[in-house]
Amino acid sequence: MRRHDKEITDRGSIDTIIRKARVCRIALCDGTTPYLVPMCFGYDGRSLFLHSANEGRKIDILRQNPKVCFEFETDCEVLPSDKPCSFSMRYRSVVGSGRTVFVEDLESRHHALQLILRQYSDETFILSDKALENIVIIRVDIEGITGKQSRV
């Protein structure tokens, strides 16, 4: 990272950003064309979990190329200025890369959906097998991850 002073090296702090984030942006490679989708997600400290309809552009791409890049951000705040070139942004963000796997076995699919729910609610839900019909569960095994913050 060019700005070492802004790098977050502590994995606990990176995890805190992910746990606070509401949206995961997943970047895919459609041949030579980049494609990005915002998604809800779950996280277990090693992998991200996504759920989706079982068809569409993102699924078509992932079946061809499982490599993804992802991004989260929290605590974003515009810091205005009288001078246009002195506007700034306070933020904490995470960028990483990984490989996706379509999760097939029922128990793991249940677990993944619970993790996604846990990201957004403190309640515990009982999920029926029916909730898993017609959706795909995607696990992103994280291969690299960095954190950055701007406190200006």
Ligand X SMILES: Cc1cc2nc3c(=O)[nH]c(=O)nc-3n(C[C@H](O)[C@H](O)[C@H](O)COP(=O)(O)OP(=O)(O)OC[C@H]3O[C@@H](n4cnc5c(N)ncnc54)[C@H](O)[C@@H]3O)c2cc1C
The site for ligand X (CB under 6 A) is made up of 23, 37-40, 51-53, 56-58
Residue 62 C-beta: closest distance to ligand X, Å? 9
3-class SS of residue 53:
strand
Residue 8 C-beta: closest distance to ligand X, Å? 24
Nearer to ligand X, 57 or 67 (CB): 57
Strand partners, 47: 141
Residue 124 C-beta: closest distance to ligand X, Å? 20
Cβ(19)–Cβ(147) below 8 Å: no
Nearer to ligand X, 8 or 50 (CB): 50
Nearer to ligand X, 124 or 134 (CB): 134
Residue 136 C-beta: closest distance to ligand X, Å? 9
Nearer to ligand X, 8 or 94 (CB): 94
Phi and psi based region of residue 45 (left: phi greater than 0; alpha: psi -120 to 50; beta: remaining): left
What b-and-e string marks burial along 21-35, b requiring 16 or more CB atoms within 10 Å of the CB? beebbbebbeeeeee
Q: Which of 69, 93, 73 is nearest to 6 (CA)?
A: 93
